[in-house]
Structure 1
Amino acid sequence: MVSTERSFIEVDPQSHFPIHNLPYGVFRPLSGGDPRIGVAIGSYVLDLAALDKAGHFHATAVAGKDIFSQPSLNAFMALGRTAWRKVRAQVQQLLRADEPALRDDAVLRAAALHPIHDVELLLPAQIGDYTDFYASKYHASNVGTMFRGKENALMPNWTHLPVGYHGRASSVVVSGTDVRRPLGQMKPADAQAPLFGPSRQLDFELELGWLIGPGNELGQSVPIEQAEEQIFGLVLVNDWSARDIQAWEYQPLGPFLAKNFATSISPWVVPLEALEPFRVAGPEQEPAPLPYLQQAGAGAFDIQLQVGLTGEGIETSQTISASNFKYLYWSMAQQIAHHTVGGCNLRPGDLLASGTISGPTKDSLGCMLELTWRGTEPLQLHNGEQRIWLEDGDEVSITGWCQGEGYRVGFGEVTGRVLPAHDNPA
């Protein structure tokens, strides 16, 4: 993973956005103008619409289509991997230290390069559908142990198929959006009847998600050998969860109000191609999955993940979890293959997410439910406070990166601050 590739734009080795990455996003200059598509390079956003207007994509499938002048990545994602690779290769070439086309064109540089602090980052895609999986064996085992005991931790189907549920696309929000504590029904163990009010057990969930590219026709499945061709890129995900609402409502059909109030994603979409140097084998699967879920080769990626917590009285962010994407039992390709095996059609911009990513150690657990073991082991903060669940004013930040030698391929971060619930309408 050593690379000598260098951009004419100075990039700190700790930056998440070197020339090896070039994640896509949708932005709007604070000085005004319409949303458009760019890539992150160091501390700048490179305006792809400006490059397109200057004729630098004339030999690609985006030429003449105003693909990068749109307020979402959907049209670009629909073009498929061949188009993505050609555009990415062209952008990398233009940013190289030994390439004069952009480096020496002062007018184009002024039009196309925006300091990242001078732009507003927007939701990167128009998300039509959102599916959340439950793909971490560590997480599923821990939660099952809490509720059913160690001997019955995993449900009988769990090691045979990627468990998932359909989430709510309308409440997917971009990083930095405040999250309102949800209202709902809860039934404490000592209560005779359900109560209504603000969730008392608000949680975060450390996840990664991937945006779908061209998709598939209704009635046609995506073979596992072709599943990764559907992945445009990955984002950080915090799938906020109201555990007390969920405990009362989830039987027999699964989460509803406990999950549909907010899902936060990062603004930058890291191309799958940028992650290839960090591909690794996932956990051994026993029993062997059915043939349609059998993946040849390594299907996981070494992506380091961290969760930070700040809040009233917490001056600096405290890292409360450090996990890794490689811990997932079910790979992205397996999740896509299973999602479509019955004929479900995926469409450009659909978001699929991993579910909580937990590891084998106490400090690698991906939610408060596990970190505090359902409230029995409070989380100790540096300022002397404790947390069992998230409190109003708390801000959760998730970050992730792949570490190369002398460079990082990162995701930036996804953040969200908890606001008090609205007045109880009851």
Structure 2
Amino acid sequence: MPNETVEQFAARARSWLAEQVQVSGGSTAAGQDPAGVDLAEQKRFQAALYDAGFVGITWPVEVGGQGLPEQYQQAWNDVVKDFDTPTGAFIIGIGMCGPTVADLGSDELKQRYLKPLLRGEEIWCQLFSEPGAGSDVASLQTRAVLDGGEWVVNGQKVWTSVAASANFGALLARTDPTKPKHGGITMFVVDMHDPGVTVRPLVDMSGGARFNEVFFDDVRISADAVIGEVDAGWAAAVTMLGHERVFIGGRVGPRSSPLDFDSLARVAREKDRADDPAVRDALAEVYLRQQSLRLLNALMREQADSGHPPGARGSISKLVGAQAAAFAADVAAEIAGPSAIAWEGDDTEATELARYVNSAPASAIAGGTSQIQRNIIGERVLGLPKETQVDRNIPFNQLKIGTQGSV
């Protein structure tokens, strides 16, 4: 709303959410389980969010955003944590792909894709990892060959979230194998409904299928669907990974999520452990870690809005977030005992706690392992000497990768 103060914005947000959704119970808060809410309902809610002015809060007006300062985004974050918001299908697009298109995309790409993304009309996924290129994304082997005015793509991606629902994806493919592995990569916008795209779900130990493998067979992509520049895809990937790591690191969770401080303190009271000095010390440490992470990410968002994208500093958020999640999971297991990792019957609360505890280790892997984050922080933030990479300046087509082994 015009001339709305931060306080007025927060009050309007709380009133609007109270009319639209339930107070958070942890199950769909922050959209952490996109499969748990009907996709049509997610789209309806996302459109309503956008029309009310609560999406793209700090994004420029010219690309469909609200153009507000970071304080408004932080106010929204503080309010929305108290509510179940079914928005899981859009977190990859709005948290990672969209900001990268906004940073590097042509004016045509921005005008075509960003507003529909924000309004929930289109869903995006990120297509980076491959069976032989996980932490070392630059080893990817998916190929894109120029054929007239189109690129023809063949290859495979894996561990792709929301791919089964996505309309578009941000795809990394190798466009010049004669260059070193970091040099001949390009980022494209790919239509996930192209007949050459096949999506297969990957069922994890929980019985769910939050990830997918994606196959590309002679998929044709227009030459103007490049994000950034041809053969400069590694720089685009670094940009997106910076956004991703801030996003993943910042997912402390809603206030009522099973691993949030308030929820763990409640479990401690229910288990008659609230007066145990060791438990109280552990809970205090959970609070300090989670609050520090929230403040760190608020700072990085504010710096990004001032023209200083997180870049390598996003790895700090990612690493701290993974450590905070692992610590909170350990504390949950200490307080709740066996019910923190397994449950019987239809105990929804125990199921939620166990799901969060069992998934906590994934935060140290998704978006780049903690070991990779430490390397990035050491080299690109602290300026320490790089580790020796014997393959960095060798043309990709001269490397022995895949079934032949790796250098």
TM-score by length of structure 2 reads 0.25
The answer to which structure, 1 or 2, has the higher relative contact order (CA under 8 A, 6+ apart) is: 1
- Which has more helix, going by share of residues? 2
Higher-strand-fraction structure: 1
